[in-house]
Structure 1
Amino acid sequence: MRTLKVALLGCGVVGSEVARYMDTHAAELTARIGAPVELAGVAVRRDGLPRPGIPEHLLTTDADELVARGDVDVVVEVIGGLDRARDLITSAFAHGASVVSANKALIAAEGAALHAGAAAHGVDLYYEAAVAGAIPLLRPLRESLAGDRVNRVLGIVNGTTNFVLDKMDSLGADYPQALKEATALGYAEADPTADVEGHDAAAKAAILAGIAFDTRVRVQDVHREGITGITAADIAAAKAAGCVVKLLAICERGTDGASVTVRVHPAMIPLEHPLAAVRGAFNAVFVEADAAGQLMFYGPGAGGAPTASSVLGDLVAVCRNKLAGVTGPGATTYAELTARPMGEVVTRYHVGLDVADRPELLAEVATVLAEHGVSVESFNQRRHEGGCSLALSTHEATDAALSAAVDTLRGTAGVHGVTSIVRIEGR
């Protein structure tokens, strides 16, 4: 049996775990693949740092030379970023190597072009680790449900935001306090913008939607809102309504059969919904399909070992394909669904208002909403010094209708301010 050789790009939290597992579980990997697999080299950014368990002769700062070696069968890319990672991956394709990547941002931005490059050179591109860490999700969507019709994917795909919102819910903390704790425990980066503003989840949503609906979905097609505007009052309002607030990635096939909507935003979901019980930094994705019905995938969505698990699963699959002289399934975009704007999305809403304490004002607010096609399901009004807090839950309406109604309310006499708008999902 010939030995399959792997070039590892990156030796950080994930890369070091991949290298460690390849060493400590070499016999098992050989048995599963059908041939030995070993590291041909490990590309790092800087020399001289300790790399426990990795022989020094395998380390190199010349990633370009490593991926261009003729004896490399598979390149594992865990360096992240866009331009540099893309150039290395395309070079690997050109030199006959298949690629396993954990790079969600790159796959979301340039997945179609990368798949085309892999197909042109007769190699594989796998990226299970790009979405939801250790959770087996992309392969079930692409392969296990290939004979079914997926209609909706609803999920928590960012552990940092779920941890923050969970702490706000369980401890009554406000957003800055919860984020500070997440940072101290290592769940949030020093610069948490990509997580808390929804960029990370939006990239994952684009990948999920593309696979689920066999169509090309770009990051710019994803409506994105983060959690920075969520307040302790929003969390309390959710509790009062028997709900919890989560940052959700929602991918839906249009009822017209020709469109898709993809969005990331905070939402209230009822406590009886399976996603409501997802705590801490865990991820979970809820899939709805014609024949399979409702499926839920749950587990750790980040971290070195969990993410390395997905990388290694892809590595085994790609190596088996190498030995068999075949490639696995690539991207399918035959459906060519149209991305619909957020304004056409239909859902329910929680709206918080600060209003004057006038008996007729509730009727005036309800009239404004009705004039824009938004009906009130329930309301709660409480007096405070200087006025009242008014919390409304609506029936289903388009996002455009709700936005127009809120704009009108902001100019309505007696409405001091719109304090909260949170969508309601899962009912």
Structure 2
Amino acid sequence: MESARIIAAAARIVRDVGIAEEIAQDALVAALEQWPRTGVPDRPGAWLTAAAKNRAVDLVRRRETYARKLAEVGRDLTEETYDPEPSGPGDIDDDLLRLIFTACHPVLSAEARVALTLRLVGGLRTDEIARAFLVLEATVAQRIVRAKRSLAKAGVEFEVPYGEERAARLGSVLEVIYLVFNEGYAATAGDDLLRPALCEDALRLARVLTGLMPEEGEVHGLAALLEIQASRTAARTGPDGQPVLLSEQNRGRWNRLLIRRGFAALERAGRGGDFGPYALQAAIAACHARAVTYEETDWRTIAALYARLAAVAPSPVVELNRAVAVSMADGPEAGLALVDALAAAPALKDYHLLPSVRGDLLDRLGRGAEARAEFERAAALTRNARERGLLLDRARGTTTDGRPAPEHPEPRR
């Protein structure tokens, strides 16, 4: 949970994200060695950050450039407190945000920028990033290694850029925050459906960006999307941690404050004209938030919004989400035709939501045996224990009574 902040704090001192990651690991090892003897400190995050800073300072001291580095930092590096909040919208004093903009430097490819930032900021393992991108794990590992080398070779400054340079990196920054939130909202693997710390970090960074770039519609669009999605968190799992389908969620538990914040951000996103991909996804989320009950959901509008999204950000995953909306608006036969047309898409070959959606549509059509096979295939593909349990339950409970479609995560591009 603290690794991203520790890496960011160290990177501000050593100006090298690869070395900073090693220093963060050293700090965690020191905690494992000392805390069993001394006890866990009251503020473990501050302890770890201070330990990493001390190691970073020691490293810089051993270099001839120590005096210059110390002057650049301009603060007492041995300070043991750590406040990641920004000092103001015009001068973002946020090490995490600096880390994201550094990892999104134009010297890197778009794929490398996102992979590196997910690794450093999101704390995702290489296999989790690979699954989020629907690519091979070895490919992601190579991207991360090469990205660190490229940043070090180019001498990239650890800073938040300004002017045209900031705008040039914004697309990658938004995508990183979006994917970090998605991993927190629906964890790729593990025993828990949610990773709330990732959602909180992504939401906080999105809010910081709205202050930093108030005229950028897509910044507000992303913030709107995350606010509205985060509003459902309390209702998405039961007391035992099991997933709760969208159709069965207690909407009284949805956070109305976050929904209002999301609606306000969505309104700001639309002031500049046409919606971009994040604003369109936020508009889809807003349709769900406006419906008092599941039955009142405006699926026809949602299907139309997905069609617009597919036009501006084409993706087989977007088309899969559109198929679900079409099935709710026009019937499962219409949705199944769209899903079957996606079956050959290489990006969906091992994507568990494809057979999950197909199983639901077959179940609603009364084709129970086929539906059961699809749910079992989806369960075999997912690496999240909670999702697997839900899918196996659905396989055992296939019926002919036309049950509603399960919730699907926001489209991952």
Name the TM tier (shorter chain). 0.3 to 0.5
Q: TM-score, normalised by structure 2?
A: 0.34
TM-score by length of 1: 0.33
The structure with the largest alpha-carbon Rg is 1
